[in-house]
C-alpha cells in the first residue's frame, strides 16, 4: 500500500497488488496444460513450438526453463515434480532473460564483403559532451565499444609542442587527450562486445613525421590485432568473418592531405540543431532548405573534407609506414554529387558526405547512391552546427544502402534510440546484412528506388498487455506527488515513409502495474528496414508528460508469440526491472 499527501492535511492511500495474468496467458496455459493446474516439460515444449514459433525447442529446453523459474520463485521448495503453475508460467513469459523479444545470437551470413553490411558507426567518438567545449577522453570510446559500436572516429592533431599527437575537435575549446591513451583503450575493449572487425577512421591533420609516429604507435599498441592490407587498392572489401578480432584503419592516403589552414571555415548555414524531440513519424522528412543549397558551397563539413586540393604547393610528402596501414581508403566529393557516387570498377573506396550533402544526393541521385553502396562504403556524418551533439534521422541513409551512418553516441534522444534499436539485430554484433534488394539489381536490371511506393509484404500485429517494474526502479513520488502514475504506451514503426506511423494506448490511471490489453496492426511494405518503437509515458494534466521508458526493436528480428520487452532510460541503458508484456504476430 502506498500513501500520498493530499492538500497538506490529508493522506491518500492506494493499495498495490500484483496484476493477474492477462486473459491470453490464462487461455494459453489452460490449452497446453490440458485444463490442469500445472504444466509439465512436454506441455511447455509444445507451447514453445506452436504458440511461440520456436520449432526447434526441445524437451531439454523446456526442462531448463522450468528449473530456472522454480529456482527463482520456489528456492525452498525445489523437491517434487518439475511443473509450472499458472503464476509460474506468467512469470516465465514476463521475464526478459528467459523470454526475450529478439534472439541474442549472430545468425546472418558474415562472409560477404564489408560493403554488404550496415556497420554501427560513431562520430567524434572521443567527446564527452558537446562539440565545442567538452572534454576529450577515452571514456566515451570505451562506452561505445561496450555497446557494440564498430567504427570509432579519432581527430588527430599535433600537440602544442608539435612533437606528439593529440586527439581533439580542432579549432574548438575542447581539451585534448593523448592518442596513445585512446589507442590503448581501443586495444583493451575493441572486442569486448563483438568479435567482428573494429574500424578506426582517422581525421588526420598531421605532418609526415607525426604520421610516421602514429604508424609506430598503432603497430606497437595493437600488434597482431592490426590488419595490414595486401595491396594499396582493393577491388573488393574483405568480409567481417575474415577480419574477426582485427583492427583496420580508414583514412585518406597521405598524399591527399594538405597543411591545415589557419582560418576556421565559416558555416553560412547557421542552422539550429534539429530537435531530437520531434513527433515520431517524421523521421524521413528532408529539409527543403538543405535540398536547395548550392552543391559547390556546402558548409559545416568535417575537417577531413575541408582541405583544398587546388593548392598543390601545400601538398605533403607521403609517409610510407602510415600509408601501409590504411585498409579502407577514404575520399571527399570531387565535382558534383553525381561524380562523387560514380563506381570505379577497378577499386573500392569510402566516401564521406555530410547529412546535408547526403540529403541532396538522395533527392537528386537516389538510385546512383544505391548503386555506389553495393560495392563501396558510404559514411554520413552530422552537420557541423550540431553543437550539442544531437543526431539526425538515420532511415534515409539506410534506405539508400549507406553502411556508416555516423552518430554522436555521447548524446541521447529519439534518433539515437532508433540507432540503438536497429543494431540490436544479428545478435548485437555491430554488423547487419543489408537486404538483398539493396545489394543487387532486380530481374530487369532495375535498382531499388527509395522514392517509390511498394505493396504491403506483411502486417505486424502488436498487442500490449501490461507493464511492471516502475515501483522497483523509481521513487514513489517520481511521477506524481499525490497519486500513483497514469501510464500510457506509444507504439509505432520507423521505416520507409509508407510504413512510418505512431499509435498509443489509453491511459491507465493510478496504477503502478498498468494493464492495457490493446492490439495494433502495422502494414509493412519494407519490413527489412522497419524498427518497432515503444515508449511509455506518464500523463500529466498540467505539465509535459513524464518519461517512463523506451526501446526500439528491429521488426524483422521479432520473435513471434508472447514476449517480455525490457525498457531503457533516456540514455539507452536498460532499467533493472521495467518491462512490458507484449505479443507479436506477422500475418
CATH number, domain at 501? 2.60.40.150
Q: State mean pLDDT over 71-84.
A: 73
Residue 343 vs residue 256, higher pLDDT: 343
Annotation says 329 is catalytic: no
Q: Give residue for cell 505512431.
A: 502
Residues 412 and 473 in one domain: no
Residue 297 vs residue 386, higher pLDDT: 386
Residues 402 and 460 in one domain: no
Answer yes or no: is 537 within a domain.
Answer: yes
| CATH (domain of 34) | 1.10.238
The band of 14, judged by pLDDT with boundaries at 50, 70 and 90, is: low
CA distance 552 to 543: 26
The band of 19, judged by pLDDT with boundaries at 50, 70 and 90, is: confident
Residues 118 and 84 in one domain: no
List the single range of 80-84, 177-181, 394-398, 432-436 with lowest mean pLDDT: 80-84
Residues 428 and 313 in one domain: yes
User: 3-class SS at 481?
Assistant: coil
pLDDT of residue 293: 40
Q: State mean pLDDT over 18-43.
A: 94
pLDDT of residue 8: 58
Annotation says 116 is catalytic: no
Burial class (CB within 10 angstroms; exposed 0-12, middle 13-18, buried 19+) of 17: exposed
Answer yes or no: is 269 within a domain.
Answer: no
Residue 299 vs residue 43, higher pLDDT: 43
Answer yes or no: is 3 within a domain.
Answer: no
CA distance 465 to 524: 22
Q: Which of 90, 91, 116, 169 is catalytic?
A: 169
Residues 461 and 431 in one domain: no
Q: Which of 90, 91, 116, 123 is catalytic?
A: 123
The band of 481, judged by pLDDT with boundaries at 50, 70 and 90, is: confident
215-223, Cβ contacts within 8 angstroms, sequence gap of 24 or more: 215/319, 215/321, 215/322, 215/324, 215/325, 216/321, 217/165, 217/179, 217/180, 217/183, 218/183, 218/249, 218/325, 219/325, 221/180, 221/183, 221/184, 221/187, 222/183, 222/187, 222/247
Query: 92 and 84 in contact (C-beta within 8 Å)?
Result: yes
Residues 410 and 483 in one domain: no
Answer yes or no: is 322 within a domain.
Answer: yes
pLDDT of residue 11: 61
pLDDT of residue 303: 45
Q: Say if strands 350-354 and 377-381 run parallel, antiparallel, or are unpaired.
A: parallel
pLDDT tens for 82-121 read 899 999 999 999 999 999 999 999 999 999 999 999 999 9
CA distance 449 to 434: 15
Last residue of a domain, one of 93, 122, 146: 93
CA distance 434 to 234: 21
pLDDT of residue 4: 58
Residue range of the domain that includes 550:
455-586
Asked whether residue 261 carries a pLDDT value surpassing 80, the answer given is no
pLDDT of residue 318: 57
List the single range of 75-84, 462-471, 534-543 with lowest mean pLDDT: 75-84
Residues 364 and 504 in one domain: no
CA distance 279 to 284: 12
pLDDT of residue 491: 98
Residues 292 and 204 in one domain: yes
Last residue of a domain, one of 385, 402, 437: 437
Last residue of a domain, one of 375, 404, 437: 437
Terminal Cα distance for the chain, rounded: 43
The band of 312, judged by pLDDT with boundaries at 50, 70 and 90, is: very low
| CATH (domain of 305) | 3.20.20.190
Between the alpha carbon of residue 521 and those of residues 278, 460, 533, the distances in Å are: 23, 6, 13
Asked whether residue 33 carries a pLDDT value surpassing 50, the answer given is yes
The band of 167, judged by pLDDT with boundaries at 50, 70 and 90, is: very high
Between the alpha carbon of residue 90 and those of residues 51, 84, 262, 302, the distances in Å are: 14, 9, 66, 52
Q: What is the pTM of this model?
A: 0.90
pLDDT of residue 288: 41
Asked whether residue 551 carries a pLDDT value surpassing 70, the answer given is yes
Answer yes or no: is 244 within a domain.
Answer: yes
Residues 432 and 476 in one domain: no
Answer yes or no: is 449 within a domain.
Answer: no
Strand boundaries in 222-325, DSSP class E: 247-251
How many domains is the chain built from?
Answer: 3
List the single range of 105-119, 330-344, 487-501, 547-561 with lowest mean pLDDT: 330-344
Strand boundaries in 226-325, DSSP class E: 247-251
Residues 397 and 478 in one domain: no
pLDDT tens for 513-532 read 999 999 999 999 999 999 99
Asked whether residue 1 carries a pLDDT value surpassing 90, the answer given is no
User: If you compute the radius of gyration of the chain from its CA atoms, what whole number of angstroms results?
Assistant: 26
pLDDT of residue 10: 61
Torsion of CA 333, 116, 321, 212, to 10 degrees: 60
Answer yes or no: is 274 within a domain.
Answer: no
Answer yes or no: is 119 within a domain.
Answer: yes
Asked whether residue 28 carries a pLDDT value surpassing 80, the answer given is yes
**Grid coordinates of 418:** 532508433
What is the overall mean pLDDT for the chain?
Answer: 88
Residue 333 vs residue 587, higher pLDDT: 587
Residues 88 and 127 in one domain: no
Residues 427 and 464 in one domain: no
The band of 297, judged by pLDDT with boundaries at 50, 70 and 90, is: very low
pLDDT of residue 282: 47
- Phi and psi angles of residue 463, each rounded to the nearest 5 degrees, phi first: -115, 125
Amino acid at each position: 500500500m502506498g500513501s500520498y499527501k493530499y492538500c497538506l492535511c490529508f493522506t491518500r492511500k492506494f493499495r498495490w497488488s500484483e496484476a493477474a495474468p492477462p486473459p491470453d496467458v490464462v487461455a494459453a496455459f489452460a490449452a497446453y496444460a490440458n485444463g490442469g493446474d500445472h504444466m509439465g516439460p512436454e506441455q511447455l515444449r509444445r507451447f514453445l513450438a506452436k504458440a511461440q514459433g520456436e520449432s526447434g525447442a526441445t524437451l531439454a529446453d523446456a526442462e531448463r526453463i522450468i528449473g530456472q523459474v522454480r529456482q527463482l520463485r520456489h528456492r525452498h521448495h525445489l523437491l517434487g515434480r518439475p511443473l509450472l503453475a499458472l503464476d509460474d508460467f506468467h512469470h516465465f513469459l514476463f521475464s526478459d532473460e528467459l523470454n526475450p523479444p529478439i534472439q541474442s545470437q549472430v545468425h546472418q551470413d558474415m562472409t560477404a564483403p564489408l560493403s554488404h553490411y550496415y556497420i554501427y558507426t560513431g562520430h567524434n567518438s572521443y567527446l564527452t559532451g558537446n562539440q565545442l567545449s567538452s572534454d576529450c577522453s577515452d571514456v566515451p570510446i570505451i562506452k561505445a565499444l561496450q555497446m557494440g559500436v564498430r567504427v570509432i572516429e579519432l581527430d588527430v592533431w599535433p600537440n602544442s609542442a608539435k612533437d606528439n599527437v593529440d586527439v581533439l575537435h580542432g579549432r574548438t575549446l575542447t581539451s585534448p587527450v593523448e592518442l596513445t591513451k585512446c589507442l590503448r583503450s581501443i586495444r583493451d575493449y575493441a572486442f569486448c562486445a563483438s568479435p567482428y572487425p573494429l574500424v578506426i577512421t582517422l581525421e588526420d591533420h598531421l605532418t609526415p613525421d607525426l604520421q610516421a609516429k602514429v604508424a609506430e604507435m598503432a603497430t606497437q599498441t595493437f600488434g597482431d590485432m592490426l590488419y595490414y592490407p595486401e595491396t594499396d587498392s582493393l577491388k573488393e572489401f574483405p568480409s567481417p568473418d575474415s577480419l574477426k578480432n582485427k583492427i583496420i584503419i580508414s583514412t585518406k592516403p597521405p598524399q591527399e592531405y594538405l597543411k591545415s589552414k589557419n582560418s576556421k571555415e565559416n558555416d553560412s548555414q547557421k542552422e539550429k540543431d534539429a530537435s531530437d524531440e520531434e513527433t515520431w513519424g517524421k523521421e524521413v522528412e528532408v529539409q527543403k532548405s538543405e535540398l536547395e543549397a548550392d552543391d559547390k558551397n556546402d558548409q559545416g563539413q568535417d575537417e577531413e573534407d575541408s582541405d583544398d586540393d587546388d593548392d598543390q604547393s601545400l601538398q605533403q610528402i607521403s609517409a610510407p609506414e602510415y600509408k601501409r596501414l590504411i585498409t579502407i581508403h577514404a575520399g571527399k566529393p570531387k565535382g558534383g554529387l553525381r561524380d562523387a557516387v560514380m563506381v570505379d570498377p577497378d577499386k573500392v573506396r569510402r566516401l564521406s558526405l555530410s547529412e546535408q550533402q547526403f540529403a541532396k544526393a538522395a533527392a537528386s541521385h537516389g538510385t546512383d547512391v544505391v548503386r555506389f553502396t553495393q560495392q563501396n562504403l558510404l559514411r554520413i556524418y552530422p552537420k557541423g552546427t550540431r553543437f550539442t551533439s544531437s543526431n539526425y534521422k538515420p532511415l534515409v541513409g539506410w534506405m539508400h544502402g549507406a553502411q556508416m551512418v555516423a552518430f554522436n553516441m555521447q548524446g541521447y534522444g529519439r534518433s539515437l534510440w532508433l540507432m540503438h534499436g536497429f543494431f540490436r539485430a544479428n545478435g548485437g554484433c555491430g554488423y547487419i546484412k543489408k537486404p538483398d534488394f539493396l545489394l543487387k539489381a532486380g530481374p530487369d536490371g532495375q535498382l531499388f528506388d527509395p522514392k517509390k511506393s511498394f505493396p504491403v509484404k506483411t502486417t505486424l500485429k502488436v498487442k500490449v498487455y501490461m507493464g511492471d517494474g516502475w515501483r522497483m526502479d523509481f521513487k514513489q513520488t517520481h511521477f506524481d506527488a499525490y497519486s500513483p502514475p497514469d501510464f500510457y504506451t506509444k507504439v509505432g514503426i520507423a521505416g520507409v515513409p509508407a510504413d512510418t506511423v505512431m499509435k498509443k494506448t489509453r491511459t491507465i490511471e493510478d496504477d503502478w502495474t498498468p494493464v492495457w490489453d490493446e492490439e495494433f496492426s502495422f502494414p509493412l511494405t519494407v519490413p527489412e528496414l522497419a524498427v518497432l518503437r515503444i515508449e511509455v509515458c506518464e500523463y500529466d494534466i498540467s505539465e509535459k508528460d513524464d518519461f517512463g521508458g523506451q526501446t526500439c526493436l528491429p521488426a524483422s528480428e521479432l520473435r513471434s508469440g508472447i514476449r517480455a520487452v525490457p525498457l531503457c532510460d533516456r540514455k539507452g541503458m536498460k532499467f533493472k526491472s521495467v518491462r512490458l508484456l507484449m505479443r507479436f504476430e506477422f500475418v
